[in-house]
Amino acid sequence: MMGALDGLRLIELGQLIAGPFCGQLMADHGAEVIKIEPPVKPGDIAEGDPMRQWGRGQPLWFPVVARNKKTITLNLRDKRGQDIVRRLVGKSDFLLENFRPGTLEKWGLGWEALRALNKGLIMIRVSGYGQTGPYAPRAGYGSIGEAMGGIRNLAGDPSTPPSRVGLSIGDSLAATFACLGAMMALNHRHKTGEGQVVDSAIYEAVLAMMESTVPEYTQGGFIRERTGSILPGVAPSNVYACKDGEILIGANQNSVWARMAEAMGRPELGSDPRFATHNARGERQAELDELINEWTRTLTVEELLATMEAHGVPAGKIYKAPDMLADPHFAAREALVKVAHPDYANLVMQNVFPKLSATPGEVKWAGQPLGAYNEAVYGGLLGMSGAEMDALKAEGVI
């Protein structure tokens, strides 16, 4: 099965999430991604990318974010390691990194140095604040970018401090925008033969998702704040209690609300002046939610779901992993896939998205052991002899 990015090679220097998730997206769709990690030295507590140790209960994050990648070890702080990067760059289409700005320049691997080796190189740089500006040299994590970009202030209930959304969304957004930028740069290269730098900042990736929050302030002086499970003025759209759980219902369009009123056995509410229009429902949002809750509490989750489906009202459970595994729609679209792994007998992860009709991509393998592709890359791609590789390994370079 061919991926849309077959034939393209990316060198991944990054670690954790903000860089490597971009590499995952490209590897999912067929790019050859060579992931560089530091070699293990005697006495090291951890090995390779710190993601190898991350996960709840078991370190299961690395098998996902490093899937489809060829893992090699290389000491980027050693001049011989830096020379090897230059050799790899000469044979590659992309270089991806998420170090603090200035780090690659310190190693002689900055943009000007690398573009001189490969004019078609696309350099993908992910950082907290971008490659320029007064904050560029600062250390930046996804959480700080989420705060600065505005999403933390809007996450959670108004009665609590700003919340995390439960995922490293800032890192993942920056990586997704980096991948998007890389595809744009690739199209430019098709037309001109020239590469360029893709500069993806975490705070800007979050900012891009902030809808109309800035013009709401500049034009109207309004500052959005946390609202919990509701979108103020948009009703009904909330989480509602059932006999045996909760369900999310979105019936905030006039025609949909009329159908929901029929489902409730109270069709008159659809034309009731208190609720018939968008503005009226928004003004009586709390009253309407309580009215709906009185009805939903009389039904089980499955009964309510069936009723909503029969009347064409958008509704759904609030899923956790077991719900996803049991859902027939997930199964029909192969949204989850079981991946072979030497240490985990039941390794299931999200499949490749988006789905492309001709070149859908695939999960070929989970994240590999440290240095699993050293021989293939150093011996095969770069043509090193066994003696040369042995010497570099003994000296801590690979």
Alpha-carbon span 178 to 201, nearest angstrom: 9
Tokens linked to 261: 């009123």
Query: 134 and 61 in contact (C-beta within 8 Å)?
Result: no
289 phi-psi bin (left φ>0, alpha ψ -120 to 50, beta other)? alpha
Catalytic residues: 171
In which element (H, E) is residue 37 found? Answer: strand 32-37
Q: What is the DSSP string of 286-334?
A: HHHHHHHHHHHTTS-HHHHHHHHHHTT--EE----HHHHHH-HHHHHTT
Alpha helices in 94-212 (DSSP H): 103-106, 111-115, 142-149, 151-154, 169-192, 202-207
| Residue 339, CA distances (Å) to 336, 342, 343 in order | 10, 10, 11
Tokens linked to 308: 């909503």
Alpha-carbon span 310 to 330, nearest angstrom: 21
Sheet holding 197-201, edge to edge: 69-73, 32-37, 9-12, 94-97, 122-127, 197-201
3-class DSSP string for 40-102: CCCCCCCCCCHHHHCCCCCCCCHHHHCCCEEEEECCCCCHHHHHHHHHHHCCCCEEEECCCCC
Query: 76 and 38 in contact (C-beta within 8 Å)?
Result: yes
Closest CA to 114 of 99, 132, 98, 96: 96
Closest CA to 262 of 315, 307, 316: 307
The b/e string for 285-300 (b: 16+ C-beta within 10 A; e otherwise) is beebbebbeebbeebe
Query: 296 and 340 in contact (C-beta within 8 Å)?
Result: no
Tokens linked to 167: 């995922």
